[in-house]
Chains A and B, each alone.
Chain A
């Protein structure tokens, strides 16, 4: 039995942007490490804005993209890199994706049940029609739908919320251990979101599934997750139990996010002035948030911030927590990776 169910070890994804001459390298995901305990199904939210790298990270875990550096382990086995046929089958049984736009998740020319049956036969091991039907029925029931309502219909015959449930049902057919859900409710109306979000909680409890929930919406992240990782420009800047992170943020960026959310129930404290940092922000090779941080000091601009354990189950990437001391004796860098273009190529 492995200690970790999901382990992301020093994973980076670097893109080259620009022409043949003078291209810049952008680290969409920059040396990210994360580990989830085995035997404990949880909901982990990865929260960030555009350019944070959250979607890139999710797609690497779901094997839609390959990492440039680093490795991803599931149940102790490496699942990034090239896999043979059997290994792929095992991967697909353990890890399933759910995408943001339910209408794009199915071909408009096919009935949605074809995907359900394919999953049942190819991945869940159904050997005949009866078994496949049974698997599909069960999966649909687990998301609150019935087979007769779903089978034989095309995507345009469903509402967004229903179709997203079909997506979840499909993903659940092989009884996966990990669901990677990329902004699963952002295209669904606010009044209907809770139906799906609550469903994730049920799946975690009833079917012992760990769910990786990617979102930019802090409110649903708070509501549904056990753990939360806040990403900024490719780094995880804060990570820990969601209630603690969101109630007592350790990282200045988390603070800024929390402050800026258009919350119901609490009006914005003062009129905030928006700096022009969008056009003038330079990718600091040291702390990427240095250009916007209200607590910035010199060391933040010169040295890469350390990952600090706050002692209450959280980690944050910030000098403020160690009194601005270069505790890990990291070098002063002038790394040419720039991040000012990441915003335009929102990944």
Chain B
């Protein structure tokens, strides 16, 4: 029986390619791709410059790999922190109940109801040009942890009623142990799907900000690459590779992540169904 769905496989292949491009390839970059005027400008693609160079004298291909790397860094770190914090807080709130639950839920609800984009724009604007990727990542974590948090809480509420939780308590397990050892194993599959989704959300949020010029413009991310390309009229000047490569990269990355996320959910559900 075909257990591993094709979509999961395709998604994983795509994402792996990006991981390679983003984390392995940059080691081979001959120079810092973000520096201007490293090479002659506007060279056509050749053996030395696979995608040619742009108006600023940057090698487009290596610039792309660095952008992919930074975008991936943002995506992965935001997703990791947001998911871990969200899951731990959510599971604890659901399990502990009572006052602790009410406070935590209130907190989660408040954060969710605040729209993130205006706040991000505000912060960026206030910091002027000093926005760093770290700050953006931090804010994104702040806005994203309640989403998995609420779902984790719901799962925890129902798991808490299971009889083995009573047995765990009768065995003297502390609440912390119960949340991590008894309840968490049941949400790991879902948490992974959530993690992958959050990568998507984080990358798109940062890219969105970048395109309107509010990200950390000195860093190379897929979004900032598009921004700079637009600033230098890449479309009008028909510098296709420069502007289209990051756009296609984002699209392809998203498709890959989406396929992995849904493919994994499917696979996981079938596996669970057989247990």
Asked if B170 and A171 sit within 8 Å, CB to CB, the answer is yes
Considering the chains assembled together, what is the distance between the CA atoms of A62 and B166 in angstroms? Answer: 10
Number of A residues, CB within 8 Å of B = 25
* B173 neighbours in A (Cβ, 8 Å): 118, 122
Asked if B185 and A105 sit within 8 Å, CB to CB, the answer is no
Kindly identify which residue among B166, B171, B172 contacts A64, using a CB–CB cutoff of 8 Å. B166
Q: How many A-B residue pairs have CB under 8 A?
A: 53
Considering the chains assembled together, what is the distance between the CA atoms of A96 and B172 in angstroms? Answer: 11
Asked if B167 and A123 sit within 8 Å, CB to CB, the answer is no
Asked if B172 and A89 sit within 8 Å, CB to CB, the answer is yes
Chain A: which residue is nearest B163 at the CB level? A104
Q: Which of A107, A114, A115 has the most CB of B within 10 A?
A: A107
Q: How large is the interface on B (under 10, 10 to 19, 20 to 34, 35 or more residues)?
A: 10 to 19
Considering the chains assembled together, what is the distance between the CA atoms of A177 and B14 in angstroms? Answer: 61
Asked if B186 and A109 sit within 8 Å, CB to CB, the answer is yes
Asked if B164 and A106 sit within 8 Å, CB to CB, the answer is yes
> For chain A residues 288-340, which have a beta carbon within 8 Å of chain B?
none
Binary B-proximity of A80-96 (CB < 8 A = 1, otherwise 0): 00000000010010001
Asked if B166 and A115 sit within 8 Å, CB to CB, the answer is no
Considering the chains assembled together, what is the distance between the CA atoms of A118 and B169 in angstroms? Answer: 10
* A68 neighbours in B (Cβ, 8 Å): none
The answer to whether the Cβ of A56 comes within 8 Å of any Cβ in the partner chain is no
Asked if A99 and B171 sit within 8 Å, CB to CB, the answer is no
Asked if B185 and A123 sit within 8 Å, CB to CB, the answer is no
The answer to whether the Cβ of B182 comes within 8 Å of any Cβ in the partner chain is yes
Asked if A97 and B171 sit within 8 Å, CB to CB, the answer is no
The answer to whether the Cβ of A110 comes within 8 Å of any Cβ in the partner chain is yes
Kindly identify which residue among A99, A118, A122 contacts B166, using a CB–CB cutoff of 8 Å. A99
Asked if B171 and A105 sit within 8 Å, CB to CB, the answer is no
| A118 nearest CB across to chain B (Å) | 4
Chain A: which residue is nearest B185 at the CB level? A109
Considering the chains assembled together, what is the distance between the CA atoms of A78 and B28 in angstroms? Answer: 72
Binary A-proximity of B172-194 (CB < 8 A = 1, otherwise 0): 11000100011001100000000
Given A107-B182, A108-B275, A109-B186: A101 in contact with B172 (beta carbons within 8 A): no
* A64 neighbours in B (Cβ, 8 Å): 166
Given A92-B172, A122-B172, A122-B173: A106 in contact with B167 (beta carbons within 8 A): yes
The answer to whether the Cβ of B155 comes within 8 Å of any Cβ in the partner chain is no
The answer to whether the Cβ of A52 comes within 8 Å of any Cβ in the partner chain is no
Asked if A104 and B171 sit within 8 Å, CB to CB, the answer is no
* B185 neighbours in A (Cβ, 8 Å): 107, 109-110
* A119 neighbours in B (Cβ, 8 Å): 170-172
Q: Which of B168, B170, B172, B177 has the most CB of A within 10 A?
A: B170
Asked if A110 and B181 sit within 8 Å, CB to CB, the answer is yes
* A62 neighbours in B (Cβ, 8 Å): 170
The answer to whether the Cβ of A251 comes within 8 Å of any Cβ in the partner chain is no
| B177 nearest CB across to chain A (Å) | 8
Given A118-B172, A123-B172: A105 in contact with B167 (beta carbons within 8 A): yes
Chain A: which residue is nearest B184 at the CB level? A109
Chain A: which residue is nearest B165 at the CB level? A107
Asked if B168 and A101 sit within 8 Å, CB to CB, the answer is no
Given A107-B182, A110-B185: A122 in contact with B163 (beta carbons within 8 A): no
Asked if A97 and B166 sit within 8 Å, CB to CB, the answer is yes
Considering the chains assembled together, what is the distance between the CA atoms of A123 and B167 in angstroms? Answer: 13
Binary B-proximity of A103-133 (CB < 8 A = 1, otherwise 0): 0111111100011001101110000000000
Chain A: which residue is nearest B164 at the CB level? A107
Kindly identify which residue among B167, B171, B182, B186 contacts A122, using a CB–CB cutoff of 8 Å. B171
Given A107-B185, A109-B185: A118 in contact with B168 (beta carbons within 8 A): yes
The answer to whether the Cβ of A54 comes within 8 Å of any Cβ in the partner chain is no
* B186 neighbours in A (Cβ, 8 Å): 109
Considering the chains assembled together, what is the distance between the CA atoms of A119 and B182 in angstroms? Answer: 15
Asked if B163 and A99 sit within 8 Å, CB to CB, the answer is yes
* B163 neighbours in A (Cβ, 8 Å): 99, 101, 104-105
The answer to whether the Cβ of A170 comes within 8 Å of any Cβ in the partner chain is yes
List residues of A whose CB falls within 8 A of some B CB. Answer: 62, 64, 89, 92, 96-97, 99, 101, 104-110, 114-115, 118-119, 121-123, 167, 170-171
List residues of B whose CB falls within 8 A of some A CB. Answer: 162-164, 166-168, 170-173, 177, 181-182, 185-186, 275
13 contacts between A and B (CB under 8 A): A64-B166, A92-B172, A104-B162, A104-B163, A105-B163, A106-B164, A107-B182, A107-B185, A115-B168, A119-B172, A122-B172, A167-B167, A170-B167
